[in-house]
Amino acid sequence: MRPVHFPRLLRTAIVVGLVSAGFAAHSQSTDVAAAEKLLEESKCGKCHSVDKQKDGPAYKKTAAKYKGKADGEAKLFTHMTSAPTVEIDGVKEEHVKIKSKDEAAIKNVARYILSR
Ligand code: HEC
């Protein structure tokens, strides 16, 4: 390798290092595609959409409800995994559980909803 290539290599190494450090710092970032896929597989769209009120609240409404609250992600995790009783047109029923047992995947969906 010719010496002239060293600085460029070094710069590349620094950039790569910084970028991966950045990703590590944001390991809590949201995988939108994975969240939407799991929501679809779980048929949540029957009662929810991002911005329209259906039988269930729009995700934007839920995001607004938990805005600035530190426990939003935990609350939604419980909501999606514990089948709480909800009322639709005056009829009580069990809320559908998300179709996954993967804690990280479910938390990712919670972050997705909270960031709408
Ligand atoms: C049969 C209709 C129906 C389906 C299907 C459904 N939901 Fe809901 N969901 C509701 C209703 C009704 C509420 C409102 C409950 C309340 O406010 O008491 C609700 C509330 C919620 C909330 C707000 C919870 C909160 O703490 O404010 C979230 C988030 C949510 N649902 C996510 C989901 C996800 C994710 C799925 C798919 C696994 C799903 N829902 C499937 C009807 C549904």
- The residue ranking higher by pLDDT, 105 or 15, is 105
Report which protein residue has its CA nearest ligand 1's atom 29: 76
Confirm or reject: Cβ of 65 under 6 Å from ligand 1: yes
pLDDT for 15-48, tens place per residue?
A: 666 555 555 555 579 999 999 999 999 999 999 9
Domain limits at 106?
31-114
Least confident of 22-31, 52-61, 96-105: 22-31
Are residues 23 and 43 located together in one domain of the fold? Answer: no
Are residues 21 and 41 located together in one domain of the fold? Answer: no
Are residues 35 and 81 located together in one domain of the fold? Answer: yes
How far is residue 81's CA from residue 95's CA, in Å, rounded to a whole number? Answer: 9
Are residues 90 and 109 located together in one domain of the fold? Answer: yes
User: Hey, what are 39's tokens?
Assistant: 């929501």
Report which protein residue has its CA nearest ligand 1's atom 5: 44
Are residues 110 and 77 located together in one domain of the fold? Answer: yes
Asked whether the beta carbons of 77 and 68 are under 8 A apart, the reply is no
Q: What is the pLDDT of residue 115?
A: 96
Are residues 90 and 41 located together in one domain of the fold? Answer: yes
Are residues 36 and 26 located together in one domain of the fold? Answer: no
pTM: 0.83
Contacts of 80 (CB under 8 A, 6+ apart): 97, 98, 106, 109, 110
- 114 pLDDT higher than 80: yes
Question: How much of the chain exceeds pLDDT 90, in percent?
Answer: 76
Are residues 39 and 91 located together in one domain of the fold? Answer: yes
- The residue ranking higher by pLDDT, 12 or 106, is 106
Structural domains of the chain, count: 2
Average pLDDT over residues 51-66: 98
**Across the chain, where does the E strand assignment appear?**
85-88, 91-94
Are residues 62 and 81 located together in one domain of the fold? Answer: yes
Average pLDDT over residues 107-114: 98
Confirm or reject: Cβ of 107 under 6 Å from ligand 1: no
CATH number at residue 57: 1.10.760.10
